[in-house]
């Protein structure tokens, strides 16, 4: 098992080395999520994400509130609202509002010990003082590989694409605008609390210029009730 984990770590390091060579920014993200089972298939969720970077300092507080319903054991349907003030080095710049719809599918495939889950999210975005509604699609897939503590500690890897559907004054790309790739470890901190830590690369596709890369140290806490 030790050799297996070391092999995965080495493969990950090799995969991200070319990205590091053309780094644009180094960032730190922290997230906290509370999920509550309301009974009869209904769920509520609230997530807060704080983001800071070398280039922009403290630049975002994202608050996502959602209501979900599970029609089956594997599928959850969600509706929600995102309150997203943006900053530059702690100074407020613009307020963004989002209406979010998404479908989550848990454990839709398994390859050996590795389980796959996914999500498709559609967002409508508005910014105060700027015209237009920006539509965006965000498909996401995650692989979980239990490695220790009877499957409670796992290696995780995920990919998410940001696909802009049309242009507005603040959404200037029509098509894939960026992607996020994450590798890390998840583990329980208690009966209802878990943590996920790792490295995330946010790659931006720039038309007519060099692409960008944000190298992010990410930590996320999740509580389930």
| All structural domains of the chain with their residue ranges | 2-224
Report residue 18's pLDDT band, with 50, 70 and 90 as the boundaries.
very low
Query: Would you state the pLDDT for residue 36?
Result: 98
**% the chain with pLDDT above 90:** 85
- The pLDDT tens digits for 60-114 are 999 999 999 999 999 999 999 999 999 999 999 999 999 999 999 999 999 999 9
The pLDDT score that the predictor gives to residue 10 is 41
Query: What string of H, E and C letters represents the secondary structure of the chain?
Result: CHHHHHHHHHHHHHHHHHHHHCCCEEEEEEEEEEEEEEECCEEEEEEEEEEEECCCEEEEEEEEEEEEECCCCCEEEEEEEEEEEEEECCEEEEEEEEEEEEEEEEEEEEECCEEEEEEEEEEEEEECCCCCCEEEEEEEEEEEEEEEHHHCEEEEEEEEEEEEECCCCCCCCCEEEEEEEEEEEEEECCCCEEEEEEEEEEEECCCCCCCEEEEEEEEEEEEEC
Tokens, residue 130: 């700027």
Amino acid 5: pLDDT:
39
Distance CA 147, CA 49 (A): 28
Residue 151 confidence (pLDDT) above 70: yes
pLDDT of res. 33:
98
Decide: 64 and 82 in contact? Cβ < 8 Å.
yes
Mean pLDDT of 187-211: 95
Check: pTM over 0.85? Answer yes or no: yes
Higher pLDDT, 129 or 18: 129
Average pLDDT, the chain: 91
Name which CATH class applies to 2-224: mainly beta
% the chain with pLDDT above 70: 90
| 212-224 vs 25-39, strand pairing mode | parallel
Mean pLDDT, to the nearest integer, of 21-33? 85
Is a pLDDT exceeding 90 seen at residue 16?
no
Please tell me the number of Cα atoms within 13 Å of 191 on its side-chain side.
1
Residue 207 neighbours by CB under 8 Å, 6+ apart: 173
């Amino acid at each position: 098992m030790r050799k297996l984990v070391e092999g995965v770590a080495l493969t990950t390091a090799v995969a991200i080395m070319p990205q590091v060579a053309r780094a644009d920014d180094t960032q730190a993200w922290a997230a906290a999520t509370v999920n509550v089972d309301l009974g009869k298939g209904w769920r509520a969720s609230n997530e807060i994400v704080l983001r800071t970077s070398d280039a922009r300092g403290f630049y975002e507080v994202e608050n996502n509130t959602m209501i979900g319903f599970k029609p089956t054991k594997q599928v959850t349907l969600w509706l929600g609202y995102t309150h997203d003030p943006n900053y530059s080095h702690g100074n407020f710049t613009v307020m963004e509002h989002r209406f979010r719809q998404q479908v989550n599918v848990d454990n839709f495939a398994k390859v050996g010990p590795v389980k796959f889950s996914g999500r498709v999210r559609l967002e409508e975005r508005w910014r105060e003082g700027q015209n237009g509604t920006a539509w965006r699609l965000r498909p996401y897939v995650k692989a979980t590989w239990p490695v220790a503590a009877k499957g409670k500690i796992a290696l995780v890897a995920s990919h998410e694409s940001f696909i802009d559907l049309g242009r507005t004054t603040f959404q200037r790309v029509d098509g894939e605008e960026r992607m996020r790739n994450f590798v890390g470890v998840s583990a329980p901190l208690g009966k209802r609390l878990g943590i996920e830590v790792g490295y995330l690369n946010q790659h931006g596709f720039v038309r007519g210029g060099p692409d960008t890369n944000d190298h992010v140290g990410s930590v996320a806490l999740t509580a389930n009730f």
